[in-house]
């Protein structure tokens, strides 16, 4: 297989795009595709400050690398969740995020949940749900709250995450199976800012997971191979497996599923829903948006584990 651009031996063959590229041209193609999405969906401009949520995995580190190579002003945020059972997931992912920042002369902000709030994600989950659920819903709530806070308090215009096409297609598949109108309305590459929160963007949402993996490997990015131990057996991994089976038979099916959804929404598929979208209020403690007056779900949860911890950190 030969590179379509230079005719040298191809390193990556993308059946989904009917395109094979050598290492050099592949490492140019991925940032060019990302730039195309940034412009197409109006994600951000060169004079805006971008904060990338970095987990230490291939997608977020590659995204950080791509945005820097494209010349954007981009800092990183690592949230230490305190998930250190077994493989020392948090310790290792923090080490790799810090190593990447140091080697590329990039600024990384680190928030350690245990230090800030007194308890790790597994501990908060045990305390608030008595171990009845996996920590993922607590983890998602805490991460969203911290990302919003750091972006707001440090004057970032945009918060970027490394969700790739496989992530987005799996979420879309789940939301479609249950026809979750509210989630479908909000899913996409761009969530505009509201109530003083930074805009949220997903610049690599059109890039397949295996394409992100190839980028990280060919760029020599050292990332954490292991997934978070709590992701094992999750519904989203199951949906990804189902979509991979579809993709194997019909290359490009995932991309077309996601892009057709975006087009349908743009064409007004959810317009009735938009009219009745719930009114948002400001949390009386942290000022982040919440659907009901009073405290947001993050502040309600933290009040249960430690009545003063949130106040101290929000000052």
Could you list the residues that contact ligand Q46 (CB under 6 A)? 81, 83, 121, 135-136, 139-140, 228, 230-231
Determine which residue in the list 22, 38, 138, 142 makes contact with Zn ion, applying CB under 5 A.
22
CB 136 to ligand Q46: min, Å: 3
Residue whose CB is less far from ligand Q46, 70 or 136 = 136
Instruction: Report what 228 binds from Zn ion, ligand Q46, none; CB cut-off 5-8 Å by kind.
Output: ligand Q46
Instruction: Report what 22 binds from Zn ion, ligand Q46, none; CB cut-off 5-8 Å by kind.
Output: Zn ion
CB 54 to ligand Q46: min, Å: 13
Determine which residue in the list 16, 20, 25, 80 makes contact with Zn ion, applying CB under 5 A.
25
CB 7 to Zn ion: min, Å: 7
Contact 207, 33 (CB under 8 A): yes
Listed residue (283, 45, 11, 301) closest to 148, CA to CA: 283
Determine which residue in the list 1, 6, 91, 280 makes contact with Zn ion, applying CB under 5 A.
6
Determine which residue in the list 66, 286, 301, 302 makes contact with Zn ion, applying CB under 5 A.
286
- Site size for Zn ion, by CB under 5 A? 10
Residue whose CB is less far from ligand Q46, 97 or 121 = 121
HSE-up of residue 287 (Cα within 13 Å, Cβ side): 11
Residue whose CB is less far from Zn ion, 11 or 175 = 11
Which residue shows structure tokens 């349908």?
264
- For CA atoms 15, 17, 20, 26, the dihedral sign is negative
228 binds Zn ion (CB under 5 A): no
Interface map 288-307 toward Zn ion (x if CB under 5 A): --------x--x--------
Enumerate binding residues for Zn ion (CB under 5 A).
3, 5-6, 22, 25, 283, 285-286, 296, 299
């Amino acid at each position: 297989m030969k590179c379509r651009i230079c005719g040298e031996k191809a390193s990556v063959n993308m059946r989904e795009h009917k395109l094979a590229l050598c290492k050099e041209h592949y490492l140019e193609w991925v940032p060019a595709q990302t730039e195309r999405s940034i412009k197409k969906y109006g994600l951000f401009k060169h004079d805006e400050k971008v904060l990338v949520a970095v987990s230490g995995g291939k997608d977020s580190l590659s995204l950080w690398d791509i945005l820097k190579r494209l010349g954007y002003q981009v800092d990183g945020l690592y949230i230490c969740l305190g998930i250190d059972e077994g493989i020392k997931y948090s310790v290792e992912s923090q080490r790799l995020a810090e190593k990447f920042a140091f080697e590329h002369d990039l600024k990384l902000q680190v928030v350690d949940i245990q230090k800030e709030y007194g308890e790790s994600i597994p501990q908060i989950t045990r305390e608030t749900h008595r171990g009845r659920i996996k920590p993922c819903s607590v983890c998602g709530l805490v991460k969203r709250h911290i990302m919003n806070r750091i972006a707001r308090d440090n004057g970032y215009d945009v918060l970027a995450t490394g969700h790739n096409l496989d992530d987005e297609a799996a979420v879309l598949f789940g939301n479609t199976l249950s026809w979750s109108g509210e989630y479908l309305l909000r899913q996409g590459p761009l969530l505009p800012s509201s109530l003083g929160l930074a805009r949220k963007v997903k610049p690599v949402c059109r890039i397949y997971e295996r394409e992100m993996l190839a980028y990280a490997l060919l760029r020599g990015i050292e990332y954490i191979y292991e997934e978070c131990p709590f992701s094992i057996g999750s519904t989203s991994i199951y949906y990804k497996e189902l979509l991979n089976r579809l993709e194997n038979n019909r290359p490009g099916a995932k991309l077309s599923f996601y892009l057709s959804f975006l087009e349908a929404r743009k064409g007004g598929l959810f317009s009735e829903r938009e009219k009745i979208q719930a009114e948002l209020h400001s949390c009386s403690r942290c000022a982040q948006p919440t659907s009901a007056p009073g405290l947001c779900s993050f502040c309600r949860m933290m009040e249960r584990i430690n009545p003063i911890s949130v106040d101290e950190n929000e000052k």
